[in-house]
Amino acid sequence: MSFRVVWETQAENQLANLWMAAADRDAVTSSANEIDEILANQGMMAGESRSDAVRILFCLPLGCYFQFREVDQTMLVAKVWGC
């Protein structure tokens, strides 16, 4: 099953800031693409469980918090940071 991946505005802004500040922008781009691919293909099997419905995923050099929105089968990226 394939899931839709949506980045909240806050996460998009965080990603843009990380990309702008990165010494290796290609690595940040690759990591963001990997997050999209993993969430789209693995859904709730991706990452590790955290509080409530929140999960965490690391695709170095990025980490993110995400959750599954069952109503529309969407993986929602809420926050991203550099590791």
* Whole-number pLDDT of residue 7: 98
Domain boundaries of the chain, sorted by first residue: 4-82
Among the four given CATH numbers 3.40.50.720, 3.30.2310.20, 1.10.10.10, 3.40.50.300, the one describing domain 4-82: 3.30.2310.20
For residues 73 and 2, the answer to whether their CB atoms sit within 8 Å is no
Q: Which residue shows structure tokens 């590791």?
A: 83
pLDDT at 1 over 80: no
Model confidence pLDDT, tens digit, residues 44-55: 899 999 988 899
* Whole-number pLDDT of residue 39: 97
* Whole-number pLDDT of residue 52: 82
* Whole-number pLDDT of residue 80: 98
Model confidence pLDDT, tens digit, residues 26-39: 999 999 999 999 99
